[in-house]
Amino acid sequence: MKAYIFPGQGAQFVGMGKDLYESSETAKSWFEKANEILGFRITDIMFGGTEEELKQTNVTQPAIFLHAVILAEIAEEFEPQMVAGHSLGEFSALVAAKALSFEDGLRLVATRAFAMQKACEANPSTMAAVLGLEDEAVEKICAEVSASGQVVVAANYNCQGQLVISGSFEGVAQAGEKLKAAGAKRVLPLQVGGAFHSPLMKPAEVELAAAIKSTHFNAPVCPIYQNVSAKAFTNPDQIKENLIAQLTAPVRWTQSVQNMIADGATHFIESGPGKVLQGLVKKINKDAEVSSI
pLDDT tens digits for 251-284? 999 999 999 999 999 999 999 999 999 999 999 9
What does DSSP say about strands 186-189 and 125-131: parallel, antiparallel, or unpaired?
antiparallel
202: left (phi over 0), alpha (psi -120 to 50) or beta: alpha
pLDDT tens digits for 231-244? 999 999 999 999 99
Q: How much is the average pLDDT of 215-221?
A: 98
Please state, rounded to an integer, the average pLDDT across all residues of the chain: 96
Q: What positions carry a catalytic annotation?
A: 87, 197
pLDDT for the residue 58: 87
- Compute the distance between CA of residue 71 and CA of residue 96 in angstroms, rounded to an integer: 10
- Percent of the chain with pLDDT strictly greater than 70: 100
Domain boundaries, the chain: 2-121+199-292, 124-189
pLDDT band at 219 (very low <50, low <70, confident <90, very high): very high
H/E stretch holding 156 reads strand 152-159
pLDDT tens digits for 81-103? 999 999 999 999 999 999 999 99
Cβ-based burial of 166 (10 A; exposed 0-12, middle 13-18, buried ≥19): buried
pLDDT for the residue 246: 97
CA 163, chain centre distance (Å): 14
pLDDT for the residue 137: 97
- Compute the distance between CA of residue 60 and CA of residue 45 in angstroms, rounded to an integer: 10
Which CATH number applies to 2-121+199-292? Answer: 3.40.366.10
- Compute the distance between CA of residue 28 and CA of residue 30 in angstroms, rounded to an integer: 5
> What single-letter amino acid sits at 187?
V
pLDDT for the residue 241: 98
Which CATH number applies to 124-189? Answer: 3.30.70.250
pLDDT band at 145 (very low <50, low <70, confident <90, very high): very high
Contact 227, 246 (CB under 8 A): yes
pLDDT for the residue 193: 81
Map residue 2 onto helix, strand or coil.
Answer: strand
pLDDT for the residue 57: 85
- Compute the distance between CA of residue 88 and CA of residue 93 in angstroms, rounded to an integer: 9
Evaluate if residue 55 carries a pLDDT over 90: no
- Compute the distance between CA of residue 166 and CA of residue 154 in angstroms, rounded to an integer: 6
